[in-house]
Amino acid sequence: MSFQNPVFIPGPTNIPEAIRKACDMPTLDHRSPAFARMFTPAVAGVKRVLKMEAGEIIILPSTGTGGWEAAVSNTLSPGDTVLAARFGMFSHRWIDLCQRHGLNVQIIETPWGQGAPLGAIEAALRADTGHAIKAVLATHNETATGVKSDVAGIRRAMDVAGHPALFMVDGVSSIGSMPFEFTRWGVDIAVAGSQKGFMLPAGLAILGISPKAIAAMEGATLPRAFFDFREMLTAYARGGYPYTPTVGLIAGLARSIEMLEDEGLENVYARHTRLAEGVRRAVAAWGMAPYAATPDLYSDTVTAVRVPEGCNGTDLVTLAASKYGVAFGVGLGEVAGKVFRIGHLGMLTDVMVLAGLATAEMCMADLGWPVRLGRGVAAAQDFYRGSAPAMALAAE
């Protein structure tokens, strides 16, 4: 791979120079007032990004997967039932994690390429008259298939069913890049990671927890130690951590939020929509389609491109890396070989996306796929030229 080229994977994303510099700092005593002065604005900034009016932010030295584990281990007990739809690799992995923790997962099997099935979720909750289901798990943006789900719609289904379960949302590949409304959507726990929309290296699990989730901690009996929210919140009150934090990444998080807010969150979301639409125009010009079943499901952070019959998406990803030094995402699980994935989130501009599309076309031509060089790039160019330019992230 070449460090001169941007990456087009759905995370980790490209790191702006300003954030890289913010992370590159001397050793700081994490029990000093200087750390608290850095940490407090980062926590407050995450609340603003999540559109969160009440509750707490937990920032753990981990990744999104650790965030999933922390969410369930702090609020649930062995044998509890949780409800989840399985419609992609990451919804599957969260289900698997719950099962390994001794939870009873009521799974709604859903075809890959679809989003969370609102009707089936509502029906399952209505049928649970004894309220055995303690939590509903939702993957906001299924990174394996490029599908976004209607989180607000799931909350409506829960409310219509009159069900008191906790509502946990995996927003790892959406938060910071796509609109997220923690309070308005009635989310109890939201999980994000530093390496996606926040444009940092991997290493932080970022969670928003509602007052309802905080109350659930007291009766929960799943084991937790490193991920114990109670110890974290006690230490937060003193301006620190119960153990050694990732100081440089927290400094980078504070800078990331400054950059997102300087651009304006609505502008950030509009830029991602714009970049994604340019990619989709290119895909259509190639005679291909996103794996997402319908346009309302299209993700603004990643497009899983369904490859032509007889072609293998993994071959394109492998060739792009070995010949051109560019990273795309392979298909995972049920879509392995059937797709390749173009990540278009984080620090990206029209010009950078066009470079990725041109590289994908060169790989297709090298592999003998039925694609004419320049056709997809031209379709994206026409779209970018014909629509109002979005404000780009400064990379100073």
Structure confidence by residue, pLDDT tens digits, 243-262: 999 999 999 999 999 999 99
Rounded to whole angstroms, the Cα distance separating 261 from 271 reads 13
Stated length of the chain: 396
At position 251, the amino acid (one-letter code) is A
The pLDDT-based confidence of 73 (bands split at 50, 70, 90) is: very high
For domain 17-261, the CATH class is alpha beta
pLDDT value at position 286?
Answer: 98
Residue-wise pLDDT tens digits, 203-238 = 999 999 999 999 999 999 999 999 999 999 999 888
Q: Indicate the range of 29-33, 75-79, 182-186 predicted with least confidence.
A: 29-33
Per-residue pLDDT, averaged over 371-383, amounts to: 97
Residue-wise pLDDT tens digits, 145-196 = 999 999 999 999 999 999 999 999 999 999 999 999 999 999 999 999 999 9
CB 269 within 8 A of CB 57: no
- Token pair, residue 340, equals 């390749």
Per-residue pLDDT, averaged over 108-135, amounts to: 98
Q: Which fold has domain 264-386?
A: Aspartate Aminotransferase, domain 1 (3.90.1150)
Domain positions in the chain:
17-261, 264-386
Considering only CA atoms, which of 153, 332, 352, 375 is closest in space to residue 272? 352
Per-residue pLDDT, averaged over 356-382, amounts to: 97
The pLDDT-based confidence of 240 (bands split at 50, 70, 90) is: confident
pLDDT value at position 1?
Answer: 62
The three-state DSSP-derived secondary structure of the chain is CCCCCCCECCCCCCCCHHHHHHHCCCCCCCCCHHHHHHHHHHHHHHHHHHCCCCCEEEEEECCHHHHHHHHHHHHCCCCCEEEEEECCHHHHHHHHHHHHCCCEEEEEECCECECCCHHHHHHHHHHCCCCCEEEEEEECEECCCCEECCHHHHHHHHHHHCCCCEEEEECCCCECCECCCCCCCCCCEEEEECCCCCCCCCCEEEEEECHHHHHHHHHCCCCCCCCCHHHHHHHHCCCCCCCCCCHHHHHHHHHHHHHHHHHCHHHHHHHHHHHHHHHHHHHHHCCCEECCCCHHHECCCEEEEECCCCCCHHHHHHHHHHHHCCCEEECCHHHCCCEEEEECCCCCCHHHHHHHHHHHHHHHHHHCCCCCCCHHHHHHHHHHHHCCCCCCCCCC
Q: What angle do CA 124, 128, 132 make, to 5 degrees?
A: 115
* Model-wide pTM > 0.75: yes
CA dihedral (180, 84, 13, 308) positive or negative: negative
Residue-wise pLDDT tens digits, 297-342 = 999 999 999 999 999 999 999 999 999 999 999 999 999 999 999 9
Rounded to whole angstroms, the Cα distance separating 306 from 159 reads 36
pLDDT value at position 236?
Answer: 87
- Contacts of 64 by beta carbon, 8 Å cutoff, 6+ apart: 170, 172, 191, 192, 193, 196, 205
The pLDDT-based confidence of 12 (bands split at 50, 70, 90) is: very high
The pLDDT-based confidence of 394 (bands split at 50, 70, 90) is: very low
pLDDT value at position 389?
Answer: 59
- Token pair, residue 396, equals 């100073």
